[in-house]
A = this chain, B = another copy of it.
């Protein structure tokens, strides 16, 4: 469930005018900007950006970038973008880090719907004049490349039905190859890169039924091997994305400074989707609420903004 609190009806032209007002004169009225943008859903924000362009012949994102700064600027700009544009930029950022942030790529590829991922690929092509899979293939190597290219290129079937025979036989393929430590076996990549999520979850369940442990456990033998980490990330994103996101938030808070971006990324990308469920899982595991830790570890407009997206303001 979405944590975002947005009015059913919104007035994009009025919103655009009020944002302009908040940017004019001495200083910027950050609270006014937050009170508008943090309470509009994606289609409403899109209309505000279009209206802003129409009235002031200026891109709203550019305006926000010039008025604001730091974490707050970054967060509110990503929030204001179209989700597919945002994901394309995040993916490009991940690819251009000194070490490719392959987990971010996996998160985008495996937690979005097939149509959403397609929209990301379209935005990516439009923004960067390359295809996403082209840049992923260029910037990575070896088995991790095979895995990443497969999951960013796929257009999975999204029906809920699945085939029992295939699920069982593919659970055995996983078990056999993992037993041989052939983690990068092409059948593993073929299955993860082409099957529907429902079909994969069925196979993961059979794996556990037949062998007593979950498939992720079988991959835990070397927690710093990049390929194994990537493989586990793919499986976790497909199996239970909300639990995966709750873990990303936990890591982000435990490693503030190094993984700070992940905190706002999860909040921004999930606020309109399943952030309530993620927050529930987070509280169950951490003896505190996400809102509490956000209030404790962040400050200023950034804090106000994130708390608003959590549904707390």
Binding site for B on A (CB under 8 A): 114, 118, 121-122, 125, 129-134, 137-138, 145-146, 149-150, 153-159, 161, 186, 190, 193-196
Contact = CB atoms under 8 A, between A and B. Distances in A.
A157 B194 contact: no
Contacts of A137: 190, 193-194
A153 B125 contact: no
Contact of A133 (B121, B131, B154): B154
A194 B155 contact: no
A133 B186 contact: no
A131 B154 contact: yes
Contacts of A153: 133, 150, 153-155
A150 B122 CA distance: 17
Contacts of A154: 131, 133, 153
B133 A157 contact: no
A157 B126 CA distance: 8
Contacts of A129: 157, 159, 161
Contact of A149 (B121, B138, B194): B194
Contacts of A150: 149, 153
A38 B153 CA distance: 36
A152 to B, nearest CB: 9
